[in-house]
Structure 1
Amino acid sequence: MTSNGWLKISGGRRGTAAFLAGALTLALGTGTAYAYWTTNGSGSGSAAAGDMQTVTVDALVPGDTPASALIPGGTADVVLRVTNPNPYPVQVYSVTGNGSVTADTAHPACTITGVTFAGSLVPLSPAVSIAPNSTALVTLPGAASMDATSQSACQGATFHLPVTLAVRK
């Protein structure tokens, strides 16, 4: 060691070359570490949310019959034909009445039906799943009732109960 506190490297060119290689490695390593921890980047990306297509409720077709018949003073099941045009399953979360109950066209004298929908079924328990791109029948047990004001002309009628469905993915 010299008197000024510096380490004296001996060995000629090999020692100097080894020292320079070590110093260069240390410098490159420090530069790489600095670049790793201080590097910034930017870019752009995009995503789009798809729109859920309208899930529809249709009138029953021949063969879609409820398990129970509606009579004055009683209740009966309501059957909904629900179509899901989406490429993913949806759940029918709630069903609410949305208008006046009417009789089918084969019973024009049935103007006072006495039929009511059981009100809001919120939340529907259990929620009903409808498979992607399919139609399913949803039965609401005892959801329709008929009081004693129903006219005799309503015998044998099929009643149309306008409803609104809330569906979720």
Structure 2
Amino acid sequence: MSMSVSRSLLATTRRKAAVVVGAGVLLLGGGVAYAYWSSTGTGSGAAETGSAPAFVVASDPATGDPLTPGGPAQSVAFSVTNPSTGVLNLASVLVTVANADGTTWTAGPTGACSAADYSVGTPAITYGPIAAGAAANGSVTIAMVNRSANQDECKNVTVPLYFAAS
């Protein structure tokens, strides 16, 4: 075999090998260079928050003997429920003798029976966070004060309690 045939054969073999290797590299994605620039960017987004719905306060009927001037107190159990989907903090419960809308209450033919004829105790309840849908239970007492005056207009009345939770 002549030297020129050998060189020609060797060159052809090398070309074929280069084409095969080149095709393999392209198929595998190796050796491909990409140009790029670096960059920076900013963006913004938002999320909506809800509001705190009012606590739901419910009470049970009073227990104990009927109220009389200077007589024993009655006890009223109540609950403060969190109707929201998040935690609400119970910081205060105020209980007064008042109408269901918090306005002044009076009773009797002349309106002489009033909140001044009754004493409401300090509510016994655990204050703090209340989980969504949960309730805090408490109790409060109510007694009729002895005003050392005729309190006949307070006979046989239903004394309303107004609960304010915050």
Query: TM-score, normalising length from structure 1?
Result: 0.49
Query: TM-score, normalising length from structure 2?
Result: 0.49
- Which of structures 1 and 2 has the bigger CA Rg? 2
